[in-house]
Structure 1
Amino acid sequence: MSQQQPHARSNRRPLSRAHRLRAAALIVLPLVTACGGGDHDKPAAGGRTAKPSGSAAPAAGVVAPAKAEVIAALTGCKVKIRTEADELREGVCHTKKGDYLITTFPEERLKETWLESAGVYGGRYLVGMRWVVSAKPEMLEPLRAKLGGTVRELKGIGPSANAS
């Protein structure tokens, strides 16, 4: 009689409905947007992406890699991973100045898909190569000084807060 092998993902917690929807969006959005034709995301000469204006690397000239634990350590925090999926890892950092989320992706295209999905909600995010930090707007610049990356403003949908 053969023994059944344990499932490879047995150490992962089941995803909540919201996380399953987010994962589904990561799968569906590339299919929906695949017909869009721009070359705006192609790397510049030398295989590096062009640096948007207003972005700055930290003083050490290093940009954080796409590993939540390393990003957290660079900001002086010990991250608590709350989502582990094939498409992303998400961890939370609790600090005296405020809490923030670190989301990392195995591929750059998955990060861009996540940002497109988050665009519905709007807000500002610190974005690097295969990672995104979600924090209060006043925390983003200090975090950028430590991690590098670019602060990106996502417009959101629906009525404006200034509408009468």
Structure 2
Amino acid sequence: MTSAVLVGAVVLTLAGCGAGQDDTAKVPATATGSLESLAAEVKCRPDMQTDADEIRQALCKNADGKFVLATFATDRGQREWINDAKDYGGHYLVGRKWVAVGDDGVVNALRGTLGGEVEAGADHSGHGAKHSG
């Protein structure tokens, strides 16, 4: 078994832990399309922040909350962007050449419409000194 297949099998096994078959049945096929078409699917009007050949990025807000929606020209560019961004934490809904970034609840709600895979960024909750309020 190759390492990629083994990793995939472990991820699938872990994803099934504590979740019934009904949870996976509710996730639609992963959406594709332009930033505007993805935004329309989740009922947000994108506020463009970056409109370049390699990446298009917009701020979005819908009934589920605020999130960033980005599309990429290449799979490699997308993966490099995600790998760099994950250092800052957060939750990422990843599709083919697109990503949505927001809090856990927003990302899971978007997944119900866009499909995709959820990835988590670095956990910074236990780092540094405690803050008093």
Q: Mark yes or no: TM-score above 0.5.
A: yes
Matched, 1:131 2:98: yes
Specify which structure has the higher proportion of helix: 2
Matching residue within 68, 71, 82 for 1:104: 71
Measured after TM superposition, the shift of residue 153 of structure 1 is: 1.1
What are the ranges of 5 or more consecutive residues in structure 2 without an aligned counterpart? 16-22
Deviation at 1:139, TM superposition (A): 1.1
Deviations 1:35-93 (A, max 9, x none): xxxx84xxx8xxxxx7953495866x432114111111111112122201222000111
Q: Give the structure 1 partner of residue 50 of structure 2.
A: 83
Distance 2:36 2:50 in 1: 13
SS in 2 for 1:144: helix
Does residue 47 of structure 2 align to residue 73 of structure 1?
Answer: no
> Following superposition of structure 1 onto structure 2, how do residues 6-45 of structure 1 map, counting pairs within 5 Å?
40=4
Structure with bigger gyration radius:
1
Q: When you count strand as a share of all residues, which structure comes out higher?
A: 2
Identity %: 29
Q: CA RMSD in A?
A: 2.8
Question: Measured at CA, do residues 163 and 66 of structure 1 come closer, stay the same or move farther in structure 2, by a change above 3 Å?
Answer: farther
Letter of the 2:51 counterpart? E
| Amino acid of the structure 1 residue aligned with 2:77 | L
Q: Is the 8 A contact 2:91 2:121 kept in 1?
A: yes
| Map of 2:20 onto structure 1 | none
